Amino acid sequence: MRRFTVILLVLLVSASMTCFAKGKAEEPTGPVKLMFWTHEDAARAKLEDGFIKDFQEQNAGVTIEKVLYGSTKIQEAILTAFAANQGPDIFNMSIEDEYAYIANGRVAAIDPKVLGLSTTQEILDTYIPNVLDPVTVKGKLYGLPLELTNWCVYLNRKIFRSAGLDPDKDYPKTWEDVMAVSEKLVVRNGDIVTRRGYDFRYPYYLVDFVPMVEQLGGKLISDDGKTVIVGDQAWLKLLEYLREWGPHGKNLGSPTYKAARSLFNFDKNEIAMASTGLYQQGRMRTDNMEFFNSKDWMVIPYPQWKDAVKTVASCYYGHYYMVNGQAAPRTQQTAWKFIAYMLKHPVDYLQQVSLPQPTKQLMASEQFKTMPFSNVFAEDMGRAHIVYYGANSAKLQELIKKAVEGVMLNNVPGDKALETLKKDAKELFSGN
Amino acid sequence: MVGKLPARSSMRKRQDLWGILFAVPALLFFSVFSFYPILNAFYTSLFNKQVLSLAAPTFIGLKNYAYLLQSADFWNSIRATAVFTLGTFSALLVMSLLLSALVSQTGRSRKFLQMAYYSPAVLSSVVAATIWLLIFDPRGLANQAVNLLMNTPGVDHDWFVNPAMEQLSTMIVYFWKYIGYFVILCITGMASIPPSIYEAVRIDGAGRWQTYWRITFPLLRPTVVLVSIMSMLQCLKTFSTQYLFTHTGAPQNPINVITLNIYNTGIRDQRIGRASAMSIILLVVMVVLTWFQLRASKSEEVDY
């Protein structure tokens, strides 16, 4: 009987292994169902629901099922789905998260004919230079941009005035100014900060902190690609600045407080300045239309160090729509057709969701130029470069996070934190 | 007599067969959701496998295990898990015994107290962690309450900044969430002790304290063993509190428990082979500790 039980168990395990090993089925004929996974954004969801409805009406037999995930949850949802060979047909994420899908051959290249064009070059010519570089490999294009975003600093004029500052004259131009102005704006109850002047976008170290290092002559990766974390003095200056910023220094802010960007729109005297993109305006309209329509906010450029050796603004990043390379060919073609249909409405994305698609036409359009403070974003974009993307970008960001948390929160000396960062980054790039 | 034996034997066989048939659904469930993943994780741990790679993974034998045993990050995770488990498990065990004794002594409010203690257990771990994130916010209830009690207005007790406080914060969340569950288990264990024993003790003139220590506690040993094993395993598997705290700005190093490290290695770094090796090590630790607890409790079996 015991032998029988063992045999039964082995059979059950084998059966379950067979079940799990099964991949995605092909669908050569019949209706096409597209699975579309994207991140939550109420205004964009409304716009794209309309596109889905219209596309389904125009293309009989096509159904599109949209699934929304939180902006930090979507990365793991898509990754685990692809790991089980059950990835969605269409998805979008930021390029630093998406690049691994191109590198591992998980996404499908665009057939220009599906978009009604003859060559890939014709697609490239539609967009401003270099924005499709991250999704172009060996002449093939693997993604189309939903948005290209850079961050500037949103400023609450009312809070500036309440602290006796003139926002038009006293807004910070340098990182030294940011600290000095924040000291005037901060309000505390004992040790507890109840109003911050400015606070950083903490988890986004590659986008928002690396340019601070580059202004001082440092680099994330050397030009020859062989050394990681280049320019000790620049990195040390950043770490020391952040220590001074945190609870063990001047106590102006910290990663443990609620994200500054999330608080800004509500105008509740909690944050005077926050780093965010043009898209913030769409969210401000949803969160607090009165504040959006007031003249109580403005946007200023990304600050520079007083002794900066190079002018660099916050990195820009793209969210690219991609198509699952494991989907059936007909599904892939329909998916690209649907993506192209959505992206044919850049003005709607700009006006209703404040997401700029980097097409030459939109960037030169009156609609873009008349968006509040779009000139500030456009000028900063000219001084910026795309965020670092690569197979190790997420881990590298985590290592920088560890160093920053060490100096800001756990009193780790800057040189020690830098030494650990360099050692870990070197190990990461050596493939261990 | 001799002629009856084959009939009994065939009846026994039939009963066994029915027993197996009834056990098949549970076996199937266990095979698909536990046994297969364990075997698969062990198999995967022998390879250098990236989650997204379509290329065949390279067989590297025990190199993932060798790497982990030399990794400072992994040993930090062992430390974080050990600190969390010891801190939370011992508090859960002691307090569940004390609170269950108190609750079973109460009269009309007994049902209410049981419900009140148990209610956090029905919340999802993510909701529980989110509630406590608000409480531990510098402007939240935790600072306000401690400052009121200690008459220290405006002091930030650094719930997420100080490494010791951060570890304590995760323990508090876990303790709050699971204490009710273990209190109910202990109360159920107490209810299974025959009332005649208490009547005999009362006649002998024993007080409440004596009754608890001399009668209830010794007879509750099987429940204590169950609670200690369950709470220890729960603590070793802790994940969502640490995950949510680190995703909202709390430093990762002090609370980087093994499960969080497995998640980050497998999902963020996409090194599923190495993450599988970590999960197998965690499984071995859990099996060994459970075996020790069961072995230690065997000599203390209770028979009424």
Going along chain A from its start, the domains and CATH numbers come out as 26-149+316-382 (3.40.190.10), 152-315+392-427 (3.40.190.10)
Check whether A132 has a pLDDT greater than 60. yes
Average pLDDT over residues A106-119: 91
B135 vs A: CB within 8 A: no
pLDDT digits (tens, 9 = 90+) for B28-42: 998 888 889 999 999
Greatest alpha-carbon span in chain A: 87
Check whether A23 has a pLDDT greater than 50. no
Cross-chain residue pair A8–B267, CB shorter than 8 Å: no
Check whether A18 has a pLDDT greater than 70. no
Beta bridge pairs of residue A149: A317
Q: What is the pLDDT of residue A7?
A: 58
Interface test with B, best of A205, A256, A268 (most B CBs within 10 A): A256
Q: Environment class of residue A205 by beta-carbon count within 10 Å: exposed (0-12), middle (13-18) or buried (19+)?
A: buried
- Quote the tokens at residue A87: 């990835």
pLDDT band at A10 (very low <50, low <70, confident <90, very high): low
Q: How far off is chain A from B226, nearest CA to CA, in Å?
A: 27
B9 vs A: CB within 8 A: no
Contacts of A72 in chain B (CB under 8 A): 247
Share of chain A above pLDDT 70, in %: 93
Using CA atoms, how far residue B299 sits from B5, B218, B222, B227, B303, in Å, is 37, 12, 11, 17, 12
Contacts of A79 in chain B (CB under 8 A): 51-52, 267, 270
Check whether A13 has a pLDDT greater than 60. no
B16 vs A: CB within 8 A: yes
- Least confident piece of the model among B21-25, B65-69, B212-216: B212-216
Identify the residue whose tokens are 């989650």: B51
Cross-chain residue pair A193–B138, CB shorter than 8 Å: yes
Q: Which of these, A205, A212, A200, lies nearest to A246 by C-alpha position?
A: A200
Pairing of strands A152-156, A271-276: antiparallel
User: Whole-structure pTM over 0.95, yes or no?
Assistant: no
Q: What is the pLDDT of residue B5?
A: 56
pLDDT band at A20 (very low <50, low <70, confident <90, very high): very low
Do the Cβ atoms of A363 and A369 come closer than 8 Å?
Answer: no
Average pLDDT over residues B148-166: 91
Q: What is the pLDDT of residue A432?
A: 63
Using CA atoms, how far residue A353 sits from A39, A92, A345, A357, A375, in Å, is 14, 16, 12, 11, 18
Check whether B202 has a pLDDT greater than 90. no
SS3 content of chain B, % helix, strand, coil (to 5): 75, 0, 20
ipTM: 0.80
pLDDT band at B104 (very low <50, low <70, confident <90, very high): confident
DSSP H/E element including B60: none
pLDDT digits (tens, 9 = 90+) for B232-248: 999 999 999 999 999 88
Sign of CA dihedral A162, A164, A169, A170: negative
Interface test with B, best of A16, A72, A107, A242 (most B CBs within 10 A): A16
Sheet holding A144-149, edge to edge: A62-69, A32-39, A90-94, A317-323, A144-149
| Cα B117 from Cα B187, distance rounded (Å) | 12
Contacts of A410 in chain B (CB under 8 A): 161, 163, 251, 253-254
pLDDT digits (tens, 9 = 90+) for A277-326: 999 998 899 899 999 999 999 999 999 999 999 999 999 998 999 999 99
Q: How far off is chain A from B204, nearest CA to CA, in Å?
A: 51
pLDDT band at A19 (very low <50, low <70, confident <90, very high): very low
Q: What is the pLDDT of residue A4?
A: 55
Going along chain B from its start, the domains and CATH numbers come out as 39-298 (1.10.3720.10)
Angle between helices A42-58 and A329-343 (to 10 degrees): 120
**Eight-state DSSP code of residue B32:** I
Average pLDDT over residues A195-223: 95
Size of interface A-B (CB pairs under 8 A): 113
Q: Which residue type occupies A55?
A: F
Q: How far off is chain A from B250, nearest CA to CA, in Å?
A: 6
Do the Cβ atoms of A51 and A70 come closer than 8 Å?
Answer: no
- With CA atoms as reference, the chain A residue closest to B23 would be A5
Contacts of B20 in chain A (CB under 8 A): 1, 4-5, 8
pLDDT band at B1 (very low <50, low <70, confident <90, very high): very low
Which of A104, A254, A395 is nearest residue B161 as measured by Cβ atoms?
A254
pLDDT digits (tens, 9 = 90+) for A216-255: 999 999 988 889 999 999 999 999 999 999 999 999 999 9
